Amino acid sequence: MIAAPVDDADVPRYWRELGLPGLVDVHVHFLPERVQAKVWDYFGRARDHYGTAAWPITYRLPVEERLAVLEQLGVRAFSTLPYPHKPGMAAWLNEWSHEFAQGRPQVLQSATFYPEPDAAGYVADALDRGARVFKVHVQVGAFDPRDRLLDDVWARLQETGTPVVIHCGSGPLAGEHTGPEPMAGLLQRFPRLQLVIAHLGMPEYRDFLDLAERYERVHLDTTMFATDFTERGSNAFDRAELPRLSDLRDKVLLGSDFPSIPYAYAHQLEALHRLGLGEEWLRAVLWGNGARLFELET
């Protein structure tokens, strides 16, 4: 029986023993330096924002060192997931993300959008320039994903089948438009959207499992899921739902939230391992599903 990784140095041994060529992580962030610093400062005040334990940033490192960490871990493909918190921000985040991806074949070029009149235009531009995945953060952006300003955006993304990683659950902080109801409404109008529900919809796991079962293209990512940090209190996953998660094997994708995680990367893999869903499930989640979604070569 394969043993869970004990630390980051042990991660390559783990995926090799599973028979994988590496890992695909759909939930990684690389942001402009000033934006990244503000995000880290926000997490540094986690007690104030969330009323929870401190949130140390394990990989608060310069860009090249962060890239080297991912390479050493064996993360063969990863997103960079920019996200705006106000109008007029998304287009330049997309430009930065485009430039960041150049010359880095391991990067899944990422983009974002916000409900504003020019959203459809700059989303089309991002797609034309090679964007492969989009990021939406409903709580940080404080907008309803059903906003009519986004109708053309969702229609285009549904048409192209481009994955959208969307933080829409109410954890770690609820917002006016978080939770399953807005997403259910969005999917009623755009049922073929290729959505990736971040954090498995934490803490409304059951409702987001429902959506993944109901809609062919709805996926779930494992970001911070089942880790010691998130299993405390209201974010805990009901183990009675494990059979459903097992049945959804082909719709679950590895996500980590690297670099802004309060533990080692290996702990995310350990947390998934100890769910006891088996090696085939792990192989699908850690590589197979992401490789298929992004048409990666093995």
How much is the average pLDDT of 60-85? 98
Q: 32 preceded by cis ω (within 30°)?
A: no
Split at pLDDT 50, 70, 90, the class of 170 is very high
User: Half-sphere exposure (CA, 13 Å, Cβ side) for 64?
Assistant: 0
Please state, in angstroms and rounded to a whole number, the distance separating the CA atoms of residues 18 and 2: 8
pLDDT at 31 over 90: yes
- Which pLDDT belongs to residue 207? 98
pLDDT at 52 over 80: no
Report pLDDT digits (tens) over 200-210.
999 999 999 99
- Which pLDDT belongs to residue 110? 98
- Contact call for residues 234 and 203 (beta carbons, < 8 A): yes
Whole-model pTM over 0.85: yes
- Which pLDDT belongs to residue 43? 85
Please state, in angstroms and rounded to a whole number, the distance separating the CA atoms of residues 230 and 190: 31
- Contact call for residues 290 and 26 (beta carbons, < 8 A): yes
Cα four-point dihedral sign 242, 246, 252, 258: positive
How much is the average pLDDT of 243-247? 98
- Which pLDDT belongs to residue 235? 87
Split at pLDDT 50, 70, 90, the class of 173 is confident
Adjacency order of strands within the sheet including 195-197: 110-112, 133-137, 164-167, 195-197, 219-221, 252-253
Report pLDDT digits (tens) over 258-278.
999 999 999 999 999 999 999
- Which pLDDT belongs to residue 46? 67
The per-residue pLDDT of the chain, averaged, comes to: 96
